[in-house]
Structure 1
Amino acid sequence: MGAAKVKSPRTARCHGAGAAGGQPRDVAGAIVGVLMALWFDWVKNQDMDVVAEFDRAMAHLEDGLPL
């Protein structure tokens, strides 16, 4: 199945397309992915500073995921 074609700006806004063409759902998915990864790490090491690790991971996303 292909992606649905957006017919109007109003429809685009309703389906998550931003003014710059970005996808808010992609951003939300990236954040949820970070939180899930942190959760799995926290289960293994409950002494970790989750807030600091979340901040580090978000900075990494903001930088464009450099290797």
Structure 2
Amino acid sequence: MGLKEWLKGEPDPKKSYQVKVICTNCDRVITVRIGHGWSVEGWSKNAKCANCKRKGSFQKYRQY
């Protein structure tokens, strides 16, 4: 991963993992790539839902 990708915040596929997350406000389920060393909670602090525009409302999706 180069400096440009790091500054833009783009995930490196070799150093990231895929996880399903759900917005606790509008129940939108999406799949995102999070860099190794980051937790879903840490990523969620900066992530904004495209539907409801709420920041920090994502948590790991658990399908029961």
Could you state the TM-score of these two structures normalised by the residue count of structure 2? 0.28
More helix by share: 1
Could you state the TM-score of these two structures normalised by the residue count of structure 1? 0.27
RCO higher in structure (CA 8 A, sep ≥6): 2
More strand by share: 2
State the structure with more CA Rg: 1
